Chain A
Amino acid sequence: MYAMAIIAILITVALALARALLGPTVYDRIAAVNMVGTKTVLLIAVLAFLTGRHDFLDIALVYALINFIGVVAVLKLVEQGNFYTAGESTEGEKKK
């Protein structure tokens, strides 16, 4: 049963990776990578039960945290072009 779940997750990851390679815009790629990250969390959780080592769930929790922060950081980088502008006010100063 766990092997079936892992195979289904791997098929989903393969489809999302194909979209990440094909994707015409950068947002397609980010959405696909976000999906791969969520599925990786589930993969680690299922793997913890398949191997009987429940410590892996901590790794899944940490990976969920890193995935969300990484997606938001990459979105900010794509939207602003850098990491050091804070928001609207500094953008206005840059245009002067």
Chain B
Amino acid sequence: MILETLSWVCLLLGAVLGIVGGIGMHRFPDFYTRLHAAGTTDTLCAALFLLGLGFQAGLSLAAVKLGLIFMFIFVTSPTASHSLANAAMHGGLQPKFIK
């Protein structure tokens, strides 16, 4: 029962965070602000979703697979965001509000 409630809370928080990231991705005025919204929410959203599913799985092979997916996303999502910002800066894209 407690695990069920924890799983609910994690999935709900992850869903809210994902939608917030999507709205930020859609409405922010500039590439770098959009990347900020997407990059910061993506990792925690994935972590919360996988943690909520892990509570449902219990101690099983599925939990191990969820842990592997979490570890991989935890490493690669900030790396992809960093390389995106690096490539945009290297390619000469200026932030909107800097003169």
How many angstroms between the C-alpha atoms of A18 and B66 in the bound complex? Answer: 29
* Contact assessment for A60 and B53 in the assembled complex, using a CB-CB cutoff below 8 Å: no
> B97 an interface residue at 8 Å Cβ cutoff?
no
Please count how many residues in chain A sit with their CB below 8 Å of the partner chain's CB atoms: 44
Say yes or no: A27-B93 contact (C-beta < 8 A), given A9-B18, A12-B22. yes
Given A19-B34, A35-B25, A61-B65, decide whether A42 and B80 contact each other with a Cβ distance below 8 A.
Answer: no
**Other-chain residue from B15, B22, B45, B81 in contact with A16 (beta carbon distance below 8 A):** B22
- Considering the complex of A and B, which 7 residue pairs feature the smallest CB-CB distances, nearest first? A8-B15, A15-B22, A12-B22, A57-B65, A68-B76, A54-B62, A27-B88
Binding site for B on A (CB under 8 A): 1-2, 4-5, 8-9, 11-16, 18-19, 25, 27-28, 30-32, 34-35, 38-39, 41-42, 45-46, 48-49, 54, 57-58, 60-61, 64-65, 67-68, 71-72, 75, 78-79
